[in-house]
Amino acid sequence: MKLHQVILGLSAVTLFLHTGCEKKFDEYYKVPDDLIGTILQVLDEDGNYTQFCKAVELVEFDDVLGKTGNFTVFAPDDAAFTMFFNEYGYSSLDDIPEEELEGIVYYHIVFWAYSKFMLLYGLNIQDAEIDYSTENFKRPTRYTPTLTVEFDTMGRQYNVYHETKYIPVYSDEYFTEIRLDATVNYEFLYPGTSYGGFHVDRAEVVEHDVPAQNGWIHKINRVLVPPGNHDDILEEGEEYSTFKELLEKNTYYEYSSSYTTAQDNAGDIDEDGKLDSLFLKMNRIFPTGSSPDIENISNDGHRNMLTLFAPTNSALQDFFASRTTGYTSIEQIGDYWIDWYLSHYIGTNYWPSRFSTLTADWEWDLTSSVVDCNVTEGDIHQLQMASNGPFCGINKYFLPRIFESVAQPIMGNKDYEWFCDMLVFYLTDKLLNEENLEFTLFAPTNAAISEAGYMFRTGLGGYGLYHKNSPLAPVSRKAGTDIVNTHLVFGEVDENAFEEGTFIETTQKTYIGIAPDGIFAGGDPTPAGMGIPEVVSGKGILYSIDRMLVSPDRSIFDIIADPGTYPQYQKFYQLCFNSGLMVLDENSRPQSLDNISVGTYYSCFIPTNEALEAGIASGAVPSEADSLQHFLRYHFVEGVVFDDGKKSGEFNTTRIDEESGYLFNTIEIINQKYDLKIMDNQGNVRNVISANRMTEDGVIHQIDSYLLY
C-alpha cells in the first residue's frame, strides 16, 4: 500500500472516532450513578454532619475535600458541634474567628487515606505472617500554625516556622503493645473523657471505616480543637513564669532548609519579592531534635512525644530556699548549673502511669540520677496532653541524686559553683551517685580554683574548665576529667590518715601527696589547706580545700622526652631512643615507650646522666640495641611506689627473662620513709636521690646508679 493510501485510511479512522465514537467515549468514562461519593458527599447524604460540612465550606476547602484528593477525615456530628458551641461560648460557626475555624477544620483532616487498620499499623495489607507494630500512633494533620516573626536577645529577626500538628490515635492495641493501662493513661491526659477503646485526641471514634471516593471517614463524638504545644502552655501559665524565663535563656533559632525550600512561591513573608528563610525555635537544654515548640520530636513525630514536668513558681522558690546557699535570687545561679538542673524536668515518651516510678525509670543521661522525681496525683497542679506530648505542671521540685551524695554540703552553694559544674560536666557525678560506695571528696571553692590559675565558664570552645593563660579554649576533656577525679578517693579518709610524706591514691590511679601544710597533686606542688571534715552518713567525707588540686598532665615518656625541662633524664632518653624502645608515628617521631601499656601504672628508676656515662665507658651498659633494650626495661617496675615506707618487697620489671621467655625479671624494693633503695639481681643496692615525680601513668625516681639483671 502506498503512503498516501495509509494516510487516507488513518484519516477515515480519525473521522469515525471523532464523530461516531465520541458519544461512546463519554458514556464509557462517565462516573456511574451508583458510585460512592466524595467525603463531603457521603457526609452530606448522612444528614448528621451539616455543621462540619459547612465549616469545610467556610474555610474554602470544599473544592478539595468534595472533589479530589486522598484523605482521612475524623468527622464530628452535629451533636458534637452543639457541645462545642456550649463549651466555648459560640452560638454558631459564624462566631468563630476565621483563623481558629481553619485550625479546627484542618486538624480533623489527615493526608492520605487510612482505614482503622492502617491508622493502627501504618500498612494497607493484612497478613498473618507479618508482625505489625502500633508504635507510630500519631499522624500529621492538614493543620500547620501560621508563621510568626520573633526576635532574639540581640534584636535579630527570624521568621519562625511552627510544624504541622500531629493527631494522636489511641487504641487498645497500642496500649497493649507498650504495656500500659489504656484507661488510666488516657483518662489522666483527657479528664472528663471515658476511654472506649478507639480514640483520636479527646474524641471517641463511634464509627470507623466509612468509605468515600477520596478517602476514609471515621465518625467521632467531639469537635477537636488543635492543642497547644509545651511552649504555648508555658506562655499561658503565669504560675510557670520562672521556669519559662529560665528555659527561654536557652532559646535559639535554627535555620531549616527543608521547610524553607518547601514554601515554593508562598514564602514571601515581608512581600519584598524574595523567598524568606524559615527557622525553628529550638532550646539548648532539651534532647536533640526537640524543644517546647517542636512537633516532630527527634525527627520521628509519628511515635515520639516530649514529656515536660513544669515546676510552679512556688516549687522552684522552695528549691531555691531549701537547696541553695549564697544566691540572692534563682536568676543569679550560673547558666551551666541552672541549665543542668532544669534538664532533670525533661524526658520523652513518658505516660502518666509511669510518673510514680520516675526515680527508678527515668532514662535520659542528664535525668538518670534523681533522688525524688516520683510524681503522684497530689503533686500534680496541671496535666494535659499537649500537641507534642504530656505536659505536667507540678507543685514540687525534683532533686538530683548528687544532692544526697558525698558532695551534699557543697551542692547549690554559690562559693562552690565552679566545682559543682565540674563534677557534672566531667561526669564525676555518675560515680558519686553509685549506691553502696563511700568516698572522700576534696572540694575547692571558686576562689581556690582561681588561685590555681583556672576558672569554669563558657567561651569559644563551649563550657568547661579554662586555664587563665588560655582564655579562648577549655582544657581538653581528658585533662579536665583527670583534674576533677584527682579530688576523689574511694573510701573514707579521716584526719588521722593524713600523715606527712605519704600518698593517697585517687579514683583514677593518680595520687595526692601529704605535705606539712596541706595536700598536693602531681600537676601543682603548691599545697592546698584543708578545712574541717564534713561527714555525709553512708556516703563519705568532704573536705573543703583552699587551692584546686591539679593532676599530672604528662606521662613518663613526656617527661623524659623533654630534656629542656628535665635535663637530668637526658641520657636515659637517648639510650631509649637508640635502643628502639619507642613507638614511632608515620614520620618516625617517638610517641611513647614500647614497654609501657595504656592503663597500667609504673615506677621508673632513672640513673643519673653521670652514672650512665660511666656505665657506657665501662661496658656495663650494653651498646647493641637489643641488649640495650633489655637493660632499659629492667629500670621500669609495674606498680607505683613512693618513698613513704609503705611498699617493699619483690616487684616485676618490664624485662622478660630470656631463659623462661615469659617470666619477668624482678628487683627488690627496700622502702623506709624518705629512704627508698633498690637491689638488683646482682645484689647491687641503688639509692633514690630524687623521689616522687608524679606522672599520668606512675612515678619517676632518680637513682644514683644503674640496675643490672
Phi, psi of 614 (to 5 degrees): -65, -40
Confidence check: pLDDT of 8 > 70:
no
Q: Are strands 649-656 and 664-672 parallel, antiparallel or unpaired?
A: antiparallel
Report the pLDDT value the prediction gives residue 274, as an integer from 0 to 100: 73
Separation CA 23–CA 3 (nearest Å): 31
Report the pLDDT value the prediction gives residue 371, as an integer from 0 to 100: 58
Confidence check: pLDDT of 15 > 60:
no
For 496-541, write each residue's pLDDT tens digit: 899 999 999 999 889 999 999 999 999 999 999 999 999 999 999 9
Confidence check: pLDDT of 266 > 70:
no
Report the pLDDT value the prediction gives residue 472, as an integer from 0 to 100: 87
Average pLDDT for the chain: 90
Strands (E) across 506-630 are located at 511-515, 518-521, 524-528, 534-536, 540-545, 582-584, 590-593, 602-607
CB 138 within 8 A of CB 152: no
Confidence check: pLDDT of 7 > 50:
no
For residue 168, give the H/E element and its range.
strand 166-171
**pLDDT grade for 275, boundaries at 50, 70 and 90:** confident
Among 38-47, 172-181, 254-263, name the one with the lowest average pLDDT: 254-263
For 210-254, write each residue's pLDDT tens digit: 999 999 999 999 999 999 999 999 999 999 999 999 999 999 999
The whole-angstrom distance between residue 194's C-alpha and the CA centroid of its chain comes to: 37
Confidence check: pLDDT of 28 > 80:
no
What secondary structure does DSSP assign to 340-386, as a single string? HHHGGGEEES--GGGGGGHHHH--SGGGS-BSS----GGGEEEEEEE
Among 195-204, 349-358, 695-704, name the one with the lowest average pLDDT: 349-358
In whole angstroms, how large is the CA radius of gyration of the chain? 37
Confidence check: pLDDT of 443 > 50:
yes
Confidence check: pLDDT of 708 > 90:
yes
For 642-686, write each residue's pLDDT tens digit: 999 999 999 999 998 877 777 899 999 999 999 999 999 999 999
Q: How many other β-carbons are positioned within 10 Å of the β-carbon of residue 381?
A: 17
Report the pLDDT value the prediction gives residue 16, as an integer from 0 to 100: 39
Mapping DSSP to helix (H, G, I), strand (E, B) and coil, where does residue 200 land?
strand
Separation CA 132–CA 121 (nearest Å): 6
Separation CA 298–CA 289 (nearest Å): 4
Confidence check: pLDDT of 339 > 80:
yes
Q: At a CB cut-off of 8 Å and minimum separation 6, what does 694 contact?
A: 510, 511, 513, 521, 522, 552
Report the pLDDT value the prediction gives residue 626, as an integer from 0 to 100: 93
Among 14-23, 84-93, 174-183, 380-389, name the one with the lowest average pLDDT: 14-23
For 292-331, write each residue's pLDDT tens digit: 999 999 999 999 999 999 999 999 999 999 999 999 999 9
For 57-81, write each residue's pLDDT tens digit: 999 999 889 888 899 999 999 999 9
Q: How many other β-carbons are positioned within 10 Å of the β-carbon of residue 581?
A: 23
Report the pLDDT value the prediction gives residue 334, as an integer from 0 to 100: 94
Confidence check: pLDDT of 34 > 90:
no
- The 10 Å CB-count burial string (b at 16+, else e) for 480-490 is bbbbbbbbbbe
Ordered structural domains, the chain, with CATH: 39-142+198-220 (2.30.180.10), 230-250+285-399 (2.30.180.10), 406-545 (2.30.180.10), 556-703 (2.30.180.10)
